[in-house]
């Protein structure tokens, strides 16, 4: 908790939140809004209406920039700037395998301890597993 508090205080210009309790409340609110948003996206996907999951998820840049299959993606929470992130691998049209999530405390992923240390590693592990076991969209 102290490490996250320090990160919040040092990076308050990014999201204007430097109090851990305010950040907790924002994450809880974003999680509820995102749950409702995913329900809406699911219903829209089922009836071929937009916005759908493909409109919602965004490409994860950096080392993943030039991947064309099993593409790492991210989802923002509904607030701006959003603290909540959901990470997934795009399997096909409107098909995503959620690999994890995190709370983004800084402007960049590399400066956000929980995301850099866990979420990106999870993407790499899941993606490697899918490739090594020749699993694709049709298998899921």
The pLDDT of residue 57: 96
pLDDT at 8: 61
From CA 115, how far away is CA 117, in angstroms rounded?
A: 6
What integer pLDDT is reported at residue 4 of this predicted model? Answer: 61
How does 21-57 read in b/e, with b if 16+ C-beta sit within 10 Å?
A: eebeebbeebbeebeebeeebeebbeeeeeebbbebb
pLDDT at 42: 97
d(CA 92, CA 52): 13
Q: Say what the pTM is.
A: 0.85
**What pLDDT does residue 94 have?**
96
Q: What is the mean pLDDT of each run of 10 residues along the chain (140 residues)?
A: 64 67 89 96 97 95 86 86 91 94 80 76 94 80
pLDDT at 7: 62
DSSP 51: S
């Amino acid at each position: 908790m102290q490490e996250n508090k320090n990160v919040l205080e040092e990076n308050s210009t990014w999201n204007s939140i430097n109090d851990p309790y305010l950040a907790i409340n924002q994450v809880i609110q974003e999680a509820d809004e995102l749950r409702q948003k995913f329900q809406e996206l699911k219903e829209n996907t089922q009836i071929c209406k937009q916005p759908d999951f493909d409109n919602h998820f965004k490409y994860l840049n950096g080392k993943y920039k030039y991947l064309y299959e099993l593409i790492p993606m991210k989802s923002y929470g509904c607030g701006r700037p959003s603290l909540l992130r959901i990470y997934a691998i795009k399997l096909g049209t409107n098909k995503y395998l959620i690999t994890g999530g995190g709370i983004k405390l800084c402007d960049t992923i590399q400066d956000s301890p929980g995301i850099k240390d866990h979420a990106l590693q999870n993407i790499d592990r899941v993606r490697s597993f899918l490739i090594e076991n020749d699993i694709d969209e049709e298998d899921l």
